[in-house]
């Protein structure tokens, strides 16, 4: 992994991602264990059981995809289904940092056979994969229809259709009375040189994997997870993963200024404190009336500049 960027500090030592190859380098294997990420996401958003699983899977998927990008690039996984959870969005970078949010973390989704029913929570709709060269850079997007609404199969389908890379994705979690306690996943991709024999052999290996929840319960690491695929898996590198939110007051000030002076003036006049809350980490940014006055002044200057440019 790139050492120019500081590595994230994981919540647990087991929160890690490994990259490796199998079948003499013809198959790429990426595995992640991210218990701390999943627990933090659920706590930040006070998520119900279905929302906690959705956040966990989206974040795990983003971390796996993050291992396929580099430098300052970012990759987002967005699910827009018609289920009660609403939009789910996770974004990761190439260094194991991830954040995620769900529109309705308290959505009431009935259990199915006593377990979480993620497809019912997500519903039918589309998956969008969003790539950026860096934060705030324009996005490249690819969209596919949700086929299983369980994130894993949808992502496999996306990679096969949009990127034309034969891929398999497995995501899973262990759920205790207090919610998601362990989580992780695997991404297997055919590299140039791999053909039908490798694809079929990998399918057989994937189908013979134990349920990931069992694996997590036994305390396996990310490297153990990768090695479940076969004795020929070679681990190339390993790095930590963690929930990291990069929100800052300045960003919210810019969002407020972009609303324009009229909107800001009514916000200031209606309330003593205008508060912005980060959807990812729950941090609250408060602007008092005096600070709002400065932003209104900034918004007026911004408008005047735009007008002089259009004249
Ligand atoms: Zn934040």
Q: Which of 228, 243, 258 is the last residue of a domain?
A: 243
Distance CA 60, CA 62 (A): 5
Say how many domains are in the chain. Answer: 2
State mean pLDDT over 52-74.
96
Tell me: do 64 and 168 sit in the same domain: yes
Residue 3 has pLDDT above 80, yes or no: no
Helix (H) or strand (E) holding 162: helix 152-162
Q: Is residue 23 part of a domain?
A: yes
Distance CA 144, CA 16 (A): 29
Tell me: do 295 and 158 sit in the same domain: no
- pLDDT tens, position by position, 159-171: 999 888 889 999 9
Mean pLDDT of the chain: 93
Residue 40 CA to ligand 1 centre (angstroms): 12
Compare 246 and 153 and report the one with higher pLDDT.
Answer: 153
Tell me: do 33 and 89 sit in the same domain: yes
State mean pLDDT over 69-85.
96
Task: Answer yes or no: are the C-beta atoms of 105 and 84 closer than 8 Å.
Answer: no
Q: Which domain holds residue 282?
A: 249-306
Residue 91 CA to ligand 1 centre (angstroms): 12
Q: Is residue 121 part of a domain?
A: yes
Residue 198 CA to ligand 1 centre (angstroms): 42
Residue written as tokens 């929570």? 121
Distance CA 102, CA 16 (A): 23
Residue 243 CA to ligand 1 centre (angstroms): 10
Please report, rounded to a whole number, the percentage of residues in the chain having pLDDT higher than 90.
Answer: 78
Q: Which of 210, 243, 276 is the last residue of a domain?
A: 243
Structure tokens at 230: 């076969």
Tell me: do 279 and 235 sit in the same domain: no
Distance CA 303, CA 6 (A): 38
State mean pLDDT over 27-52.
96
State mean pLDDT over 50-79.
96
Tell me: do 48 and 100 sit in the same domain: yes
**What pLDDT does residue 4 have?**
57
Q: Is residue 268 part of a domain?
A: yes
State mean pLDDT over 107-134.
95
pTM above 0.75, yes or no: yes
**What pLDDT does residue 307 have?**
86
**What pLDDT does residue 96 have?**
97
Tell me: do 259 and 235 sit in the same domain: no
Banded model confidence at residue 117, pLDDT cuts 50, 70, 90: very high
Distance CA 257, CA 251 (A): 10
Distance CA 152, CA 187 (A): 9
CATH number at residue 268: 3.90.1280.10
Tell me: do 233 and 256 sit in the same domain: no
**What pLDDT does residue 2 have?**
44
Please report, rounded to a whole number, the percentage of residues in the chain having pLDDT higher than 70.
Answer: 98
Tell me: do 72 and 181 sit in the same domain: yes
Residue 135 CA to ligand 1 centre (angstroms): 14
Tell me: do 142 and 274 sit in the same domain: no
CATH number at residue 81: 3.55.30.10
**What pLDDT does residue 138 have?**
87
State mean pLDDT over 116-144.
94
Q: Which of 212, 227, 243 is the last residue of a domain?
A: 243
Q: Is residue 203 part of a domain?
A: yes
Residue 125 CA to ligand 1 centre (angstroms): 27
């Amino acid at each position: 992994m790139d050492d120019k960027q500081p590595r994230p500090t994981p919540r647990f030592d087991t929160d890690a991602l490994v990259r490796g190859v199998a079948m003499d380098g013809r198959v790429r294997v990426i595995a992640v264990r991210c218990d701390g990420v999943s627990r933090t996401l659920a706590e930040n958003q006070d998520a119900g059981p279905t929302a906690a699983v959705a956040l966990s899977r989206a974040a795990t998927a983003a971390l796996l995809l993050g291992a396929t990008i580099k430098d300052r690039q970012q990759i987002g996984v967005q699910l827009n289904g018609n289920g009660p959870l609403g939009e789910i969005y996770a974004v990761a970078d190439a260094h194991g940092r991830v954040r995620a949010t769900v529109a309705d973390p308290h959505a009431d989704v009935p259990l199915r056979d006593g377990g979480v029913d993620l497809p019912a929570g997500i519903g039918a709709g589309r998956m969008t994969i969003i790539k950026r060269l860096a934060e705030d850079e324009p996005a490249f997007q690819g969209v596919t229809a949700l086929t299983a609404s369980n994130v894993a199969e949808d992502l496999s389908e996306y990679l096969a259709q949009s990127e034309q890379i034969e891929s398999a994705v497995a995501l899973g979690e262990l759920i205790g009375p207090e919610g998601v306690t362990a989580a992780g996943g695997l991404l297997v991709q055919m590299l140039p040189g791999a053909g039908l024999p490798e694809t079929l052999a990998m399918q057989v290996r994937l189908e013979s994997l134990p349920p990931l929840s069992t694996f997590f319960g036994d305390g396996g690491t990310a490297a153990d997870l990768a090695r479940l695929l076969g004795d020929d898996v070679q681990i190339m590198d390993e790095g930590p993963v963690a929930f990291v939110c990069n929100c800052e007051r300045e960003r919210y000030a810019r969002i407020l200024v972009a609303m324009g002076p009229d909107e800001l003036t009514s916000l200031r006049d209606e309330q003593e404190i205008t508060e912005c809350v980060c959807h990812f980490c729950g941090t609250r940014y408060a602007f008092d009336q005096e600070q709002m006055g400065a932003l209104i002044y900034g918004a007026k200057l911004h408008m005047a500049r735009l007008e002089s440019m259009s004249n």
